[in-house]
Amino acid sequence: MSVYKVRYAPSPTGPLHIGGARTVLFDYLLAKQNNGIFLIRSEDTDLARSSAHWEDAILDSIEWLGLSWQEGLRVGGENGPYRQTERLDIYQRYLDRLFAEGHCYKCFCTEEEIEKERQIAYAKGETPKYSGKCRNLTPEEISELERQGRKFVIRFKVPQGKIITVDDKVRGLVHFESDGIGDFVIVKSDGIPTYNFAVVIDDITMGVTHVIRGDEHLSNTPRQILIYEALNAPLPVFGHVSIILNEQKKKMSKRDGDTSIDQYREKGYLPEAMINFLALLGWAPEGEQEFFTIDELVKEFSLERVSKNPAVFNLEKLRWMNSVYIKKMDIKELTNRVKPFLKEQIPNIDEYDPSWLEFVVETYREKMIVLSDIVPLTADIFHDDIDFEDEKCREILREDTVDSVINLFKEKIIQTEELTYEKVEEILKSLTKELGLGGKKVFMPLRVALTGKTHGSELYSLIPILGKERVIKRVDYMMAKR
């Protein structure tokens, strides 16, 4: 049985975005379904933009999604370190080999010279590529340039006249002509390797068998294959997953609203729903099934059913899926998940009776799309200090039918054994009948007494949640303040 090692190698330059999260998920699924190893490391060679903060944020988001890994950052392993900036000695060893075998050379061309070459190529309508000017410097010339203290980069010598084929598990065979690729930089003038070089050395030295990543890296792959070949190393399996578009079929950007996983987490999306939704961004299950647990995805997922075409991000679908997950969730679990959101408004939320809290959440779960919806939905429940300053409220409380409504309501509430939705419905309907009043005359003063507002919470749900004691307290308070 072949051993799978799949890696995710984010650059810690920002939060985990939707596209990255989808890549991690596919990497995870592939490793897991093959009893393989999932590895996470960091590509932090962009020193100016990388930070420990973003590395942490990305890993936290992956953990929040419920995905675990067996090797790499946070968990360790035999092939560390797992940050590229800590692996410079390893890159140096491979660089020495490439030098010794004539696969790379020092290039002393200045930025201005390279820019000039580029402009000439553009003017001719050609794609710019490095001319190879420094390829044939003699050892004496090199020594002289070094003696002058000239800065240099290290370039890989791209063999001419070759067709490089990427056997891509998502896109099929993709061919590139080596003549279209100039000798590319593998080590920058500050001595830091470039992505294309470091990634190959990492994948080789960590024993990675599968490289599944976003298709913005497809054009890098022929360069990487050339390095594998120069080092006589076996190629991993490649798969490039299409980009994700917004609903206008344009590349998703910050302007499209929330693009990072932590934004969804903060809004109260469930990781289970996110995973389910992300899986369907590009992967098509065989049947009609739309809801998958992570274990089901592990069983069902296959790279062959990942589409070459861009996936379209549909927020409404995510919202719908999230609401379905909320509806299906065990009530204890759901209550635990909404607590952190409630806690922001009600710091002592943990002191409330757990079964009462569950009753509250159960009452409103049908209306919830995201967990944070619980906050506005329950706003009238937690605070007993209601004021009636609003002019509309005052107007309602001035009506002369208020006394009879409130008195009869109290009487009936006191007599009732257990306040349920149905029972309250019955009581309020009987009030209108017995007092010969229209619904509005009955409901409005009660609504104002119980919430201090003229619209909002449904009374049939609110009254059982408040319970007899608090209902009566609120009603009495209103009568006293009126």
Q: Which residues bind ligand GLU (CB under 6 A)?
A: 9-11, 43, 199, 213, 217
**Residue 27: CB minimum distance to ligand GLU, A:** 9
Nearer to ligand GLU, 11 or 378 (CB): 11
- The least distance separating ligand GLU from the CB of residue 40, rounded to whole angstroms, comes to 11
Q: How far is the CB of 248 from ligand GLU (least distance, A)?
A: 24
| CB burial of residue 235 (10 Å; 0-12, 13-18, 19+) | middle
Rounded to 5°, angle at Cα 89 from 84 and 92: 100
For helices 421-435 and 402-415, the axis angle rounded to 10 degrees is 140
Question: What does the DSSP 8-state code read for residue 244?
Answer: E
- State yes or no: 473 annotated in a binding site: no
- Name the amino acid, one letter, at 342: L
Q: How far is the CB of 203 from ligand GLU (least distance, A)?
A: 8
Cis ω before 81 (30° cut-off from 0): yes
Q: Cβ closer to ligand GLU: 17 or 339?
A: 17
Q: Which is nearer to ligand GLU, 207 or 285 (CB)?
A: 207
Instruction: Return d(Cα 461, Cα 348) in angstroms, integer.
Output: 23
Nearer to ligand GLU, 208 or 230 (CB): 208
- Closer by beta carbon to ligand GLU, 217 or else 367: 217
**Angle formed at CA 399 by CA 393 and CA 402, multiple of 5 degrees:** 90
**SS3 of 107, please?**
strand
Judged by beta carbon, residue 218 or residue 402, the one nearer ligand GLU is 218
Q: How far apart are CA 364 and CA 331, in angstroms?
A: 11
Distance CA(36)–CA(7), nearest Å, equals: 11
Do the beta carbons of residue 420 and residue 461 sit within 8 Å? no
Half-sphere exposure in the Cβ direction for 111 (13 Å, CA): 2
Residue 132 Ramachandran class (φ > 0 left, ψ -120 to 50 alpha, else beta): left
- Of the two residues 199 and 413, which places its CB atom closer to ligand GLU in the complex? 199
Three-state SS annotation for 22-46:
HHHHHHHHHHHHCCCEEEECECCCC
Q: Where are the alpha helices (DSSP H) in 231-373?
A: 261-267, 271-279, 294-300, 315-328, 331-345, 354-364
Identify the DSSP state of 71.
E
- Other Cβ atoms closer than 10 A to 136: 8
Phi, psi of 473 (to 5 degrees): -60, -45
| Contact partners, residue 144, CB within 8 Å, separation at least 6 | none
Query: Distance between CA atoms of 241 and 306, rounded to whole angstroms?
Result: 7
Pairwise CA distance, residues 24 & 21, whole Å: 5
Cβ distance 43 to 198 under 8 Å? yes
Q: Closer CB to ligand GLU, residue 202 or residue 272?
A: 202
Helix axes 459-481, 439-451, angle to 10 degrees: 80
> Is 254 among the catalytic positions?
yes
CB of 168 to ligand GLU, least distance (A): 13
In terms of CB distance, is 11 or 335 closer to ligand GLU? 11
Task: Name the catalytic one among 254, 367, 429, 441.
Answer: 254
Shortest distance in whole angstroms from residue 188 CB to ligand GLU: 16
Please state the closest distance from residue 176 (CB atom) to ligand GLU, in A.
17
In whole angstroms, the minimum distance from the beta carbon of 202 to ligand GLU comes to 9
How near is the Cβ of 351 to ligand GLU at its closest, in Å?
45
Beta carbons within 8 Å of 458's beta carbon, 6+ residues apart: none
Report, as residue numbers or ranges, the catalytic residues: 254
**Feature table: binding site:** 254
**Feature table: binding site for ATP:** 254
